[in-house]
Structure formats: structure tokens, C-alpha cells
Structure 1
Amino acid sequence: MSLIRLIAAPVIAASIAMTGSALAQSFTPQQRTEIEAIIRDYFIKNPEMIEELQTLAQSEKLKRAIVDNKQTLFNSPRQVTLGNPNGDVTLVEFFDYNCGFCKRALDDMMTLIKDNPNLRVVLKEMPVLSQGSMEAAQVAVAVALQDKSGKRYLDFHQKLLGGRGQADKARALAVAKEIGADMAKVEKDMNGAEVKAALQESFSLAEALGFQGTPSYVVGNEAVVGAVGVKELQTKINNARCGKPTC
């Protein structure tokens, strides 16, 4: 058992003891006072452990959130799925078309797909940076509605996210036209109920997971925030695949 778990155990025990539960009855008032004094003294001498315990608690909370939202996170009928649809590991990315770090991370995603034939990639729109981001996301989801295979959407995604300048309605529509989308249907659907529901679903997931910026990822039962690069993401994929940093 790690040191942090050894520390967490008496903290939890002490907390339970102070609630008046059945377990609390196993400690005398003097014992409870002594336990509290030991814990307080330890944290005074080792303040860095408070941060470690908080990090552990946040990690456990995130893992519960991933489990609680597993179906919508990994298998929503509204999501875009790239790579191998039957892959043994799923990488979920939350992104914004106006996020500079997401633009950098686009090459990371394409490299991971190329290097991992059994990787399944799920994209979730998270337009948080501007009104233009929201407009671009609405067009993107409307394009995705026309393309269940994800191939045309990927073309759209790469051209819009990889292009220069700010993404907005005009640019997104121009890219949609360039990749051969049905423009009458795009313009009709982008303000429709299904697009609204898809975006709301992504926002709800991001809130449940505590994501506030892009890009943010989920791999297995782990979350990664930021454009951390191919190496870090590959390590997370390997951990999910075989339980080790290298498979």
C-alpha cells in the first residue's frame, strides 16, 4: 500500500468516527482525539500531502464520472467516430475549432490513428472560445449528420481546424461546400433540434468530467487535459490497452 493510501486510511476512519456512525462507537473520545492529533500533526509537518490527497480525490471523482457517463461518452449515436470503429481502445477528444492548441493536436490525432490500427477515436464538439466557435460547431455537426462513416466529416474537420484564421459560420460553410456537403441540408440542420441536442450533450459531458478547456481527452478511465503530444497520449492508450506504458 502506498504512503498516500496509508495516510488516507486514518483520515477516512477519523471522518467516519466523527459522524456518529456505528464505527465511531469503536473509538473512545480519547482515541478519537489522539487520532485527530496524529493526523493534524502529520499534515502540519508534511503540507505537500494535502495536495496529493486532493489530487487523489479528484482522480477518483473523475474515474467515477467516466463510469457514470460511459455510454454517452464512448457510444453516443450523436458522436463522430474515426479510426477503427471496432478498436480495442477509445480515445475521446473534446475540441474547439478556434483553439490553437487543438490545431496543434490535430496532427497528433492523425498520427495516433495511423500508428494504432486498433484505435477508435471519438470527437466531441466543445465550442467554448467564441460565437464563431459555436457557429463552426453547428455547421460541423450538420455535416456529420450527412456522413455516418465519418470520412467526409474528417475531411471537413482537417480543413477547418487546420486552416488559418478564425473559424465562424462563413468559413465553416465554405469548407462544407468544398468537401461536397449538401449545403441546403447543412443550412437547414445547423439550427435544428438534433444539432442543438448534440452540442448540449457534449457540454453536459464536459461539465460532468470537469473539463473547462480544449483539447481535453478521455482514454480508458483516465483524462488528459491539454495538447500533451503524441508520446503522452500513446502512453495513455497503451495503459488502457495492456496496463503498461509500452505494449
Structure 2
Amino acid sequence: MTQFPSFLSRLVAGGMLAALLASTTPFAAHAQGSSFTPAQRAEIVSIVRDALKTDPSILSDAVAALQSKASEQKAASALDVVRRNAPLFGDSSTDIVLGNPHGTLRVVEFYDPRCPYCRKMLGDLDTLIAATPDLRLVEKVIPILGPNSMLDAQAIMAAGQQNAYLTFQKALMTDTSAPGQDRIRRVAAQVGLDVDRLERDMKSAPVATALAKNVALARSIELDGTPTFLIGDREIIPGAVSLDELKAALARLKKSH
């Protein structure tokens, strides 16, 4: 790799190059209060341009730095929302609570029943719960993947009114047949639900209200996709995650208590 002046390395490491690339005016974000003279700034810009021509990987490093910074800021903002509205996220009379209802390790999962990654994690979550006596896991279903997600989410919430949320949720999310109302009726019958009541409850105000609240909470933290895990009020994990990563996150949460 071509060696560059040490101050250019510091620009990359410190995020100043990322700021340069993100700014419409060179070094606008750092010009005020900077010790650089206009001539020095011009020289730095020239060196940066030459460096990018010689080694384009510098550009990808700068973009990665920008993305990392943006992710950190977004996570910090989301966790601030969680801390200010803790009861809305951690306490619920409509969402299923898995594990220990009085557990000190509090985790919230936002999931979509049509999300393939959420489906794959069902077994991992069972393993995690069995291995973690202090885990209290609140599962918030959110229909974000279209009309079939809405149908499945309504059905899962409606099954809760027959005290069968978890049984029906697992049966529905592991069923591989084509989505739709016929599938919902068939799965509901298989697990022993009153199918006609389920269909009525799917359209009820309590189900609509519960789903609307979950979606509003997801929007309040600018959730990008499912699954998304809130590890207490200290960490947010967006997207698919391994069982080992979840265990490590819980270990960090336990250590913080």
C-alpha cells in the first residue's frame, strides 16, 4: 500500500476526510476554529485528491467511517427514546412476554411474521430463554412487509385473545404454505382455535390499536427492518443476529446492572 503523509492518515482516522466527502464545501465542517490557513487547506485538498487517485480504497474507508458515525448517532438517538419511554417499550398487556416475567434482563424484539430472518430465529430464542433464567423478552409484532404481514399480525394478536398467542404464532410462522386468509384459518383450526372468533377479532378495535402502538414505537426509533432487538436501554441490534451475539449482548447487559 502506498504510504501517505501522517496528517492524511489522521484525517481518515479522525473522520475529517469523511466530513470532507460529505460536505459541499471542502472542510466546511472543520473550517471554523481550525488552525489551517486557506493555503494549507488547499494543499490538503490537493493531497487528498492525489491520494484518492493513487489508492481508491481511501474513499471506501471514508464512506465506511461516515456510515459508522451515522449508525452510532442513530442508535444513540433510538436508545434515548427508549429511556424516555421505558414503560411503552418494556411493559405491555397485549404483546407476548417470553421467559421470566420478572426477569432483570429486559429485551424487546420487533418482528414481522413474514420476515424470513425472524422465522429462522424462533429456535434460537427458545434456546436463549432456556439458558437465561433472568431473561424477560417482549415480542412486538409489526406488519411492515405488506398486506400478508398485516393479515398474519392481526391473526397473531387475535389469537392472544384466546390465550393462544405463542402457540398460534409459532404454528403460523413455521408454516410454509402460501399466505392468505385460508392459510390462517387452516393453522388456527390445527391448533384448536375458534376460527370464526379469530376472524372477527382480527378486525377488532383492540387488535388494530395494539398493532398501531407497536408500529408507532418502531417508527419512534426509526426502525429499518426486522428483527430488531432492544437490549435493555443500552444497546440496539438491527437485523439478523446469531445466538452467540445475543448471548454476548445479554452478558454486557447483565454486567451493566
TM-score normalized by the length of structure 1: 0.72
Identical counterparts, % of pairs: 29
Q: Distance in 1 between matches of 2:17 and 2:71?
A: 19
The structure 1 residue matched to 2:97, chosen from 77, 81, 87, is 81
Kindly state the Cα deviation for residue 217 of structure 1 after the two structures are TM-superposed.
Answer: 2.9
Between 124-133 and 114-123, report the one with greater CA deviation: 124-133
Q: CA deviation at 1:173?
A: 4.3
In 2 relative to 1, CA 204–43 (structure 1 residues): closer, same or farther, beyond 3 Å?
Answer: farther
Tell me how far 1:170 sits from its aligned partner: 3.7
Deviation at 1:68, TM superposition (A): 3.8
Separation (CA, whole Å) in 2 of partners of 1:86 and 1:134: 30
C-alpha contact 2:18 2:66 (8 A) present in aligned 1: no
Assess, with a 3 A threshold, how the Cα gap between structure 1 residues 231 and 108 changes in structure 2: closer, same or farther. Answer: same
1:211 matched to 2:218? The reply is: no
CA contact (8 A) 1:94 1:123 kept: yes
Bigger drift between 104-113 and 57-66 goes to: 57-66
Cα shift readout 1:91-146 (whole Å, capped 9, x = no counterpart): 33232333333222110111111011111212122334442321121121123355
Moved more, 49-58 or 37-46: 37-46
1:8 aligns with 2:15: yes
Partner of 2:4: none
The aligned residue for residue 163 of structure 1 is 175
* Equivalent residue, structure 2, for 1:232: 245
Which structure is larger by alpha-carbon Rg, 1 or 2? Answer: 2
Query: Using the alignment, how far apart are the partners of 1:4 and 1:175 within structure 2?
Result: 58
Separation (CA, whole Å) in 2 of partners of 1:138 and 1:4: 51
- Verify the 8 A CA contact 1:133 1:168 in the aligned structure 2: no
Do residues 95 (structure 1) and 107 (structure 2) align? no
Answer yes or no: is the 8 Å Cα contact 2:19–2:66 preserved in 1: no
- Given candidates 61, 66, 82, the residue that maps to 1:49 is 61
Q: Is the 8 A contact 1:139 1:186 kept in 2?
A: yes
How much is the aligned-residue C-alpha RMSD, in angstroms?
A: 3.5
Q: Which shows bigger deviation, 101-110 or 48-57?
A: 48-57
- Residue segments in structure 1 that go unaligned for 5+ positions in a row: none
Conserved? CA contact 1:132–1:166, under 8 Å: no
Q: How many residues align?
A: 231
Helix, strand or coil at the partner of 2:15: helix
Unaligned runs of 5+ residues in structure 2 are 1-9, 21-26
* 3-state SS in 2 of match to 1:90: strand
